[in-house]
């Protein structure tokens, strides 16, 4: 049957007259209805593990804006928690984890195939969504990339420069590589299970890929993503993969082939004109309006939205922000962005 969902058409390489749209963190604190449901759940992690409420917040931005895709509501740090790490969120600060930095610590984690019981509520959220989403809306599953998840497991929190992970990589390569390998294998199983539950596309978030230099970028950003993509395609050959090595800069060129991904997601550290010439030549791209425009709005938002649409108009493109929408964004600016893309406003 010919594919009718616009995101799947773009991912198959089709150039569409109007790009399909979704936003990273589209279910989030900028929406009053999200804040209300989160309060009902109690806290962020309780929301992630409550399948009905997680499905509800996933659907909220679809109802409000009619995005072309819904992204499963969960977090990249649920996977290390399933492997046995402690995880909690400090309000106003972000995630905290028990650290894994030694051979004993690595051995104390569970094997990759032991994650499913802990993650069962996430798979249930996917099943609810695949029943309840409008027929034209694509359901995207996701996981963090091994390097990005490892940076949190090693430091026990977010870090500006991923210093502790770089230090372990230099000091105890075997333990570092062991963490990457465990995350790579468990991510394959996690994403495969999301696909079995109904995810139609999967995205690999490598938020901190940009801090990997030289051969490290190949070994710890490109290779794990390529291994995950290949393993998924062996089991689910028709399910597209989006890779998001944020901060890759000029190294975005050639990544479709190097990773084997159907789509490369771009942050706003590269211009759309450069990316059209050097990345979109390899296949579908996603991105890359700076999320700050969702805060500031106005004529600049309209012009920069048009600029992204125009730059990528000659090839397959999924419109998105360059990073997640922030809590201080104005919901009206999101509507203005969508109207600009869909109605040429
Ligand atoms: O895009 C989506 O809406 C889908 C759900 C999703 C969340 N996090 C929900 C979330 C996805 C895909 C993520 C990915 C994620 N989580 C990444 C990679 C992408 C990126 O943003 O770089 C990372 C690094 C994390 C880890 C994480 N989760 C951090 C560092 C934080 C705290 C920062 C913050 O924004 O508060 C979170 C919390 C988080 N994950 C929130 C949401 C909606 C905010 C939680 C809240 O409601 O308080």
Our answer on whether the CB atom of 77 is closer than 6 Å to any ligand 1 atom is yes
Run of H or E including 318: strand 317-321
| Cα distances (Å, whole numbers) of residue 64 to 52, 60, 208 | 18, 6, 31
Our answer on whether the CB atom of 94 is closer than 6 Å to any ligand 1 atom is yes
Reply yes or no on whether 127 is catalytic.
Answer: no
| Cα distances (Å, whole numbers) of residue 9 to 22, 66, 81, 320 | 15, 17, 35, 16
Reply yes or no on whether 34 is catalytic.
Answer: no
Point out the ligand 1 atom lying closest to the alpha carbon of residue 73: 5
Instruction: Determine the angle formed by the axes of helices 32-41 and 51-65, rounding to 10 degrees.
Output: 170
State residue 11 phi and psi, 5-degree precision: -65, -25
Instruction: Output the pLDDT for position 290.
Output: 98
Our answer on whether the CB atom of 78 is closer than 6 Å to any ligand 1 atom is no
Coil, strand or helix at 240: coil
Instruction: Quote the pTM value.
Output: 0.97
Which residues is 205 bridged to in the sheet?
A: 144, 244
Q: Please tell me the distance from the alpha carbon of residue 243 to that of residue 262, in angstroms, as a whole number.
A: 8
Which one of 30, 49, 65, 152 is the catalytic residue? 152
Instruction: Output the pLDDT for position 2.
Output: 64
Strands (E), 4-137: 69-71, 87-90, 94-97
Q: Is residue 13 a part of any domain in this protein?
A: yes
Using an 8 Å Cβ cutoff, are 264 and 243 in contact?
Answer: yes
Reply yes or no on whether 64 is catalytic.
Answer: no
Model pLDDT for residues 53-111, shown as the tens digit of each residue: 999 999 999 999 999 999 999 999 999 999 999 999 998 899 999 999 999 999 999 99
Total structural domains within the chain:
1
Distance 75 CA to ligand 1 centre (A): 6
Which residue has a Cα nearest atom 31 of ligand 1? 94
Our answer on whether the CB atom of 73 is closer than 6 Å to any ligand 1 atom is yes
Q: Please tell me the distance from the alpha carbon of residue 80 to that of residue 321, in angstroms, as a whole number.
A: 27
Distance 89 CA to ligand 1 centre (A): 11
Count Cα neighbours of 315 within 13 Å in the Cβ-side half-sphere.
Answer: 19
Instruction: Output the pLDDT for position 1.
Output: 53
Which one of 9, 30, 34, 38 is the catalytic residue? 38
Using an 8 Å Cβ cutoff, are 59 and 131 in contact?
Answer: no
Distance 76 CA to ligand 1 centre (A): 7
Distance 105 CA to ligand 1 centre (A): 25
Distance 2 CA to ligand 1 centre (A): 34
**CA angle, 14 then 24 then 145, to 5°:** 90
DSSP state for residue 160 in the 8-state scheme? S
Of the candidates 221, 191, 224, 179, the one whose C-alpha atom is nearest the C-alpha of residue 80 is 179
Q: Is residue 199 a part of any domain in this protein?
A: yes
Our answer on whether the CB atom of 203 is closer than 6 Å to any ligand 1 atom is no
Q: Is residue 305 a part of any domain in this protein?
A: yes
Which residue has a Cα nearest atom 12 of ligand 1? 75
For the chain, residues with pLDDT lower than 70 are: 1-2, 345
Q: Is residue 1 a part of any domain in this protein?
A: no
Reply yes or no on whether 49 is catalytic.
Answer: no
Q: Is residue 109 a part of any domain in this protein?
A: yes
The whole domain housing 108 covers 6-343
State residue 144 phi and psi, 5-degree precision: -75, 155
CATH of residue 49's domain is 3.20.20.210
Q: Is residue 82 a part of any domain in this protein?
A: yes
Our answer on whether the CB atom of 35 is closer than 6 Å to any ligand 1 atom is no
Q: Please tell me the distance from the alpha carbon of residue 116 to that of residue 126, in angstroms, as a whole number.
A: 14
């Amino acid at each position: 049957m010919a594919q009718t969902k616009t995101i799947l058409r773009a991912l198959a390489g089709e150039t569409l007259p109007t790009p399909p749209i979704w936003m990273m963190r589209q279910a989030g604190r900028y929406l009053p209805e999200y804040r209300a449901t989160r309060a009902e759940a109690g806290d962020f992690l309780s929301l992630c593990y409550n399948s009905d409420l997680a499905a509800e917040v996933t659907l909220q931005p679809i109802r409000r804006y009619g995005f072309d895709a819904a992204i499963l509501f969960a977090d990249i740090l649920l996977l290390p928690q399933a492997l046995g790490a402690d995880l909690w969120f400090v309000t106003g600060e972000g995630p905290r984890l028990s650290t894994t930095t030694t051979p004993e610590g690595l051995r104390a984690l569970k094997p990759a195939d032991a994650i499913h019981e802990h993650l069962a509520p996430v798979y249930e959220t996917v099943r609810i969504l695949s029943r309840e989403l409008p027929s034209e809306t694509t359901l995207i599953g996701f996981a963090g990339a091994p390097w990005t998840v490892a940076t949190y497991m090693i430091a026990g929190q977010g870090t500006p420069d991923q210093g502790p992970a770089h230090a372990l990589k230099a000091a105890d390569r075997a333990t570092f590589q062991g963490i990457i390998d465990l995350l790579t294998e468990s991510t394959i199983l996690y994403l495969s299970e999301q696909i079995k539950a109904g995810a139609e596309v999967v995205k690999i978030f490598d938020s901190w890929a940009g801090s990997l230099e030289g051969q490290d970028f190949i070994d710890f950003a490109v290779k794990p993503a390529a291994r995950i993509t290949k393993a998924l395609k062996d089991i689910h050959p028709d399910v597209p993969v989006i890779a998001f090595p944020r901060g890759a800069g000029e190294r975005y060129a050639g990544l479709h082939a190097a990773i084997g991904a159907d789509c490369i997601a771009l942050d706003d550290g590269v211009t759309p004109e450069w990316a059209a010439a050097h990345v979109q030549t390899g296949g579908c791209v996603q991105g890359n309006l700076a999320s700050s425009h969702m805060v500031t709005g106005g004529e600049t938002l309209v012009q920069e939205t048009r600029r992204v649409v125009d730059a990528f108009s000659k090839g397959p493109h999924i419109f998105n922000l360059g990073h997640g929408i922030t809590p201080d964004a104005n919901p009206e600016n999101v509507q203005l962005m969508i109207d600009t893309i869909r109605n040429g406003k």
